[in-house]
């Protein structure tokens, strides 16, 4: 538990709380692991990618022709606001047998982390142009795992080494098939899984498990997402997750109320860049 209100002054408490929130988001957000991250003050971000050049092979001539290239006009616009506000009254913090203020800080941090991941993962999954449908049973059928991963890798082979590898995001309910498949994978790898449980890498793909219900079809802030019954695979760093100035958390007194008001808030945007959209794959479960 974050013992935020054991620090004597508000200024030190604010500093401690923000450091703790920043550390939690950087360490635990799946979005941090698979996207380029932008925390500048930029409200809009221009596409960092142009068209792919083509290498010409010829006889020995010593000459070349200048080729044209295109830059796709595409912009990430931060269009979603995340916010939580709660009031911890003075008497509540006094009569409870635990640190209520610190508990609400922890709960708000966990809640906004989950909400950001859900928004970013659904946004990039909806806007990626890669697609794949699993064999019947999806990830919950252990025998499907090597087939699914091999098929997914075949879609991006030749690109992943240039961009720091590949990722796969599943929900926790998928682990009932994934963990047994890992445990039967062979010798030292299976021994590691049998001894330590879920291993976050399979066939070179980094696997992240998020809570059940993360992938959804809904309106999420300024985005309409269609990811119900789907999962996400892709090459890392092909998408951008923007959090201008990061997520902030503060406390303040409200006139007429005892105790403190606690709020957590931030602006978030996510973008799949058109030039690399095929390297983000929406997985439909069969």
* CA proximity to 21, closest of 218, 258, 271, 251: 251
0.85 exceeded by pTM: no
Range with the lowest mean pLDDT among 23-27, 197-201, 256-260?
Answer: 197-201
Contact 148, 205 (CB under 8 A): no
5 within domain boundaries? no
82 within domain boundaries? yes
Give the tens place of pLDDT for each residue, 204-235: 899 999 999 999 999 999 999 999 999 999 99
The per-residue pLDDT for 10 is 58
The per-residue pLDDT for 21 is 81
What residue numbers bound the domain in which 197 lies?
A: 11-284
The per-residue pLDDT for 245 is 80
Average pLDDT, the chain: 85
State the sign of the Cα–Cα–Cα–Cα dihedral 85, 208, 213, 132.
positive
Q: Over range 120-139, report the average pLDDT.
A: 97
Question: How many structural domains is the chain composed of?
Answer: 1
6 within domain boundaries? no
Q: Domain holding 47: CATH number?
A: 3.90.1690
Give the tens place of pLDDT for each residue, 68-111: 777 666 788 899 999 999 888 877 777 675 677 778 888 888 89
73 within domain boundaries? yes
Higher per-residue pLDDT: 43 or 173: 173
The per-residue pLDDT for 72 is 65
Percent of the chain with pLDDT over 70: 86
79 within domain boundaries? yes
Range with the lowest mean pLDDT among 38-52, 53-67, 113-127, 136-150?
Answer: 38-52
Q: Crossing angle for the helix pair 187-196 and 175-183, nearest 10 degrees?
A: 130
Give the pLDDT band of residue 6 (cuts 50, 70, 90). very low
222 within domain boundaries? yes
* CA proximity to 108, closest of 135, 86, 129: 86
Give the tens place of pLDDT for each residue, 35-77: 988 888 887 888 777 777 888 888 888 888 888 777 666 788 8
2 within domain boundaries? no
4 within domain boundaries? no
């Amino acid at each position: 538990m974050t013992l935020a209100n054991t620090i004597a002054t508000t200024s030190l408490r604010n500093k401690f709380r923000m450091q703790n929130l920043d550390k939690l988001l950087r360490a635990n957000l799946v979005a941090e692991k698979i996207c380029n991250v932008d925390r500048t003050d930029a409200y809009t971000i221009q596409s960092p990618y142009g068209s792919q050049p083509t290498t010409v092979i010829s006889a020995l001539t010593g000459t070349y022709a200048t080729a044209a290239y295109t830059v796709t006009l595409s912009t990430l616009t931060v269009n979603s606001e995340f916010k939580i506000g709660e009031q911890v009254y003075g008497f509540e913090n006094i009569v409870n047998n635990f640190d209520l203020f610190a508990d609400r800080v922890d709960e708000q941090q966990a809640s906004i982390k989950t909400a950001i991941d859900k928004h970013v993962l659904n946004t990039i999954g909806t806007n990626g142009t890669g697609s794949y449908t699993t064999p019947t049973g999806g990830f919950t059928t252990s025998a499907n795992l090597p087939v699914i991963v091999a098929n997914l890798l075949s879609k991006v082979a030749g690109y992943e080494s240039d961009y720091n590898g590949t990722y796969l995001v599943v929900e926790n309910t998928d682990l009932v098939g994934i963990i047994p498949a890992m445990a039967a994978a062979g010798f030292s790898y299976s021994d590691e899984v049998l001894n330590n449980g879920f291993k976050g890498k399979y066939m070179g793909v980094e696997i992240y498990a998020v809570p059940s219900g993360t992938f959804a079809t809904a309106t999420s802030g300024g985005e309409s997402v269609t990811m119900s019954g789907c999962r996400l695979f892709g090459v890392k760093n092909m998408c951008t997750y923007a959090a201008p100035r990061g997520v902030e958390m503060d406390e303040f007194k409200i006139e007429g109320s005892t105790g403190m008001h606690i709020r957590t808030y931030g602006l978030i945007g996510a973008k799949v860049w058109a030039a690399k959209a095929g390297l983000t794959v929406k997985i439909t479960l069969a």
